Structure 1
């Protein structure tokens, strides 16, 4: 189940607010310019489905997003517990960054927690299958996939590609509870 936990940067050990209903999550994130919604596959997807099956089931939703966002294509981000470099990749994703373009992600399988550092708050959004998250350009964020990652998501690309991401150098991600905590 998707969840939003909101923390003040001065107290990252205890959330001010925890929400679990789609409408509440979407409304709270919309207040800070972040879009959250759900997109359903056109056919049932087994938990053991491979990448090709996932892409086939979500293709209409992906095509609709491409049109809505004026995107030129997409890439697939995937990290599973079997990946030989999962620990190194997880560490890289836990570094706070910001991009020069909107970051549009549709989660096809698994889960990941996007932590959005906006002004004096961190919005930790646990995204699961069917969740669509649009992080505005310039927003500081990081992604926690947990100790045993299972995450498959589509990331939209514009005509120039995925955009440039810059690490901020802030260690705030190390102070927020991890996905598995």
Structure 2
């Protein structure tokens, strides 16, 4: 189940909000310009291709594209494996997204499978949104944030872009991401 945890950016030890209530999550995120919702999950094969994921969610994707003007949609999938290349690839990808950054474009993601945490640093607060399968989130352009996929990432995510450049991060150089609860710690919070 989705989890929202909010801290003051100077006190990573004491959350001011921690909730799984969808209405509260939406009410907290909306004033930040963050769109958050849920899509009904569709049946996907064990290792779905990009085309299979896009076809399964065509109606929802078309609606988002029409409402937000996106012109590029892709799928990112990562699944645990005993292959040594998985560990290296996962660690490299995780480290890249763990660094605080911004984008000139909105960052919209739908989780068709698995989970990940978006950390948004806005107005002196850090908002950690632990997204699970079915969640769709839009982080507004120029919002300072980072993403944690955990030490053993597993997800299938649909991404939306306004241009063909795709994911381009403008890194802040801050180490704030190292101070707050990780994906693995938030995944352990009881439901």
TM-score with structure 1 length normalisation?
0.91
Which residue is equivalent to 2:94?
A: 90
Which residue is equivalent to 1:177?
A: 181
4+ residue runs over 6 A deviation = none
TM-score with structure 2 length normalisation?
0.86
Provide, for residues 96-153 of structure 1, a one-character-per-residue CA deviation record: whole Å limited to 9, x for no partner: 0001111111111100000001121000000111111111111011111111111211
1:76 positional shift: 1.4
Counting only pairs closer than 5 Å after superposition, residues 40-59 of structure 1 correspond to structure 2 as 40-41=40-41, 44-45=42-43, 48=46, 50-51=48-49, 52-59=51-58
Q: Distance in 2 between matches of 1:95 and 1:146?
A: 14
Given the alignment of the two structures, is residue 107 of structure 1 paired with residue 111 of structure 2, yes or no? Answer: yes
1:159 positional shift: 3.4
SS of equivalent to 2:12 = coil
| Pair 1:11–1:96, CA change in 2 (3 A) | same
Q: Distance in 2 between matches of 1:71 and 1:10?
A: 36
Determine if contact 1:45/1:54 at 8 Å carries over to the other structure.
no
Given the alignment of the two structures, is residue 155 of structure 1 paired with residue 159 of structure 2, yes or no? Answer: yes
Which residue is equivalent to 1:136?
A: 140
Determine if contact 1:8/1:16 at 8 Å carries over to the other structure.
yes
SS of equivalent to 1:14 = coil
Determine if contact 1:40/1:58 at 8 Å carries over to the other structure.
no
Determine if contact 2:53/2:75 at 8 Å carries over to the other structure.
no
Which residue is equivalent to 1:20?
A: 20
Query: How many pairs are equivalent?
Result: 179
Provide, for residues 40-97 of structure 1, a one-character-per-residue CA deviation record: whole Å limited to 9, x for no partner: 24xx425835235433321211121111111112121222223341111111111000
Root-mean-square deviation over aligned CA pairs: 1.7
Greater share of residues in strand: 1
